[in-house]
Chain A
Amino acid sequence: MSQFAKAFEPDKLQEAWHVFLTEFPMGLWETLYVTLLATLFAIVLGLPLGILLVTGDEKGIRPMPKPLMKVINVVINFLRSVPFLILIVMVIPLTRVIVGTSIGSVASIVPLVVAAFPFVARLVESSLRELDPNIIEMAQSMGSTTMQIIFRVMLPESVPSLITNFTLAITTILGYTAMSGAMGGGGLGKIAINYGYSRYKYAVLYLAVIVLVLLVQVFQSVGTRLAARLDKRIKK
């Protein structure tokens, strides 16, 4: 019998169930707070940046110097193209400065934010670009300032699209937490790797995967419903 099939024999399943009961609650909690905090910080950084990408554009409401926009775009593209696994290693010095250590759940938030905020910026950019330019023109014709256009028109009008994109961000970041779990972070990713990869306990690995999949489903359906409920363009 192959090693793989052996991993699902009754005694192994019982062992996996034991791990599920003893270690999964903590792992789930770690995964959740790391994901949510990383998403929050990524939005805090990515939202203003995304707004700047749209408003500072050549044809935006407040064009910024072209070289500046060029630099911002290059940096975002650079961070977006570095594989996450490598990015985790690259930001270790930064992580040590901010958290004091590069090991553990809290420390894993730093590389997650560094990886996710340029992604969020691009998502915000695409949400805001969907907006009908005639609406912006209306706001200008009424004497709105740049800030008023951003906060009273662009953002409120884009709420459903932003929620949809933030949902995409949170599920992506959740996937990344599993990777950071393998690189010294905590959570379900760490459990899956420690038991499944290092000790051939595939049953534990699959249980961890099932929980992660369920988490994604929950985030996604909450996000989708929230976006639909908040969208006043849908006739009810």
Chain B
Amino acid sequence: MIELRNLSKSFVTSEGPVDALRHVSLTVNDGDIYGIIGMSGAGKSTLVRCINMLERPTEGSVLLDGRDLGALSKKQMQEVRRQVTMIFQSFNLLMQSTCLQNIMFPLKLIHTPKAEAEARARQLLETVGLPDKANVYPAQLSGGQQQRIAIARALATNPRVLLCDEATSALDPKTTQSILELIRQINRDTGITVIVITHQMSVVQEICNRVAILEHGAVVEEGDVSQVFSRPKAAATRALVFPEMNGQADGGQDGSGYGQLVRLVFEGSITTNKPLIASMAMDCGIAANILGASTRTVGKREYGYMLIEIPGGPDELGRALKYISAVPDVAVQVEAKYGSKEAKEA
């Protein structure tokens, strides 16, 4: 278990001190795939570097199974870094070493006998699906393959925690998928705790079970991915979860302006297959106008949202809300900012 307690980090720059992290407190349980998401400059990279003490926090502490990492000696810290390994956006492979040598690198650091290290490296090449690349140099590999080698290297010392710092940000969507699949599989097979730093909501949706949203160095929301995703509370979370929605919400160009905007959030696997809007039109006689919709897979369940406009007055709105609320796994939110005349005048 990793606990971050009241973690703060400030840097002194030429323009004065900058607070990269402000009182961050998080708990990551064993076996979690924990997402830390935020826009660039939110402090994600600093946060992940505090977890393995590449950056020393200015305040607060990092506890690995109750052990305060800030209090460890240099030697103990080196030991911890074999337990908490890291993969990077730029892969950071040794370009003058073969893939096999790259994977053996962390083992050489602890003077593992060569034969043993090589056997372990070959086994890891197998795990990441590149058994034929042992004697190939990284420059000859694609980005996705390089990241696989980096993952194999990070796993060489049998770590308990894997930190992924924007590990898929330099990859195309298809390769991203396959790398995420690999990470999920390793998590499943070995029970390794994974902390994923990303600016892409899709990455969190894809593999994380828990998530923290970081904004200006502070955690603004934290919890199960399904919960945070379906009911984003903080503005920063909404901006990340529904990036497409912001444009519409800000401009409101698609709505007629005389109806009430309602956000539907789907929280289960069945509802998205149901023609909800069509059946509401038939059952209630309310022809809702769909302004935007998006559904995705989170874990193994379907999630999504839909922004609709209910024409008419409070009566129609009331009936529509009642109808939709009766459907399981769908949450309704009335967008007070738009549609209703009161809101417009206000």
A157 close to B (CB within 8 Å): yes
Cα A231 to Cα B137 with chains together (Å): 10
Using Cβ atoms and an 8 Å threshold, which residues of chain B touch A134? 88, 90, 92
User: Which chain A positions have C-beta within 8 A of B126?
Assistant: none
Interface residue from A143, A232, A235 paired with B81 (Cβ < 8 Å) = A143
Residue among A143, A144, A145, A148 with most chain B CB within 10 A: A143
CB distance from A165 to the nearest CB of B (A): 16
Using Cβ atoms and an 8 Å threshold, which residues of chain A touch B90? 132, 134
> Among A141, A145, A157, which residue has its beta carbon within 8 angstroms of that of B95?
A157
CA distance A135 to B88 in the complex (A): 10
Which residues of A121-167 have CB atoms within 8 Å of chain B's CB atoms? 132, 134-135, 137-138, 140-145, 148, 152-153, 156-157, 159-160
CA of A172 to CA of B296, assembled, Å = 65
Cβ of A157 and Cβ of B94 under 8 Å apart?
yes
Q: Is the CB of B54 within 8 A of A138?
A: no
Shortest beta-carbon distance, B112 to chain A, in Å? 13
Interface size on A, residues (CB 8 A): 24
Q: What residues of chain B lie closer than 8 Å to A137, measured between beta carbons?
A: 54, 88, 92
Contact of B139 among A144, A145, A232 (CB under 8 A): A232
Number of A-B contacts (CB under 8 A): 70
Q: B140 contacts which of A132, A153, A157, A235 (Cβ < 8 Å)?
A: A235
B interface residues, tally (CB under 8 Å): 28
In the complex, chain A residues whose CB is within 8 Å of the CB of B80: 143
Residue of A nearest to B108 (CB): A152
Question: In the complex, are the beta carbons of B82 and A143 less than 8 A apart?
Answer: yes
Query: In the complex, what residues of A have CB within 8 A of residue B108's CB?
Result: 152
B residues near A (Cβ < 8 Å) are: 52, 54, 77-82, 85-86, 88, 90, 92, 94-97, 105-106, 108-110, 137-140, 157, 163
12 CB-based A-B contacts, threshold 8 Å = A132-B90, A137-B54, A137-B92, A142-B157, A145-B109, A153-B94, A157-B96, A159-B96, A230-B96, A233-B137, A234-B139, A235-B140
A binding-site residues for B, Cβ under 8 Å: 132, 134-135, 137-138, 140-145, 148, 152-153, 156-157, 159-160, 230-235
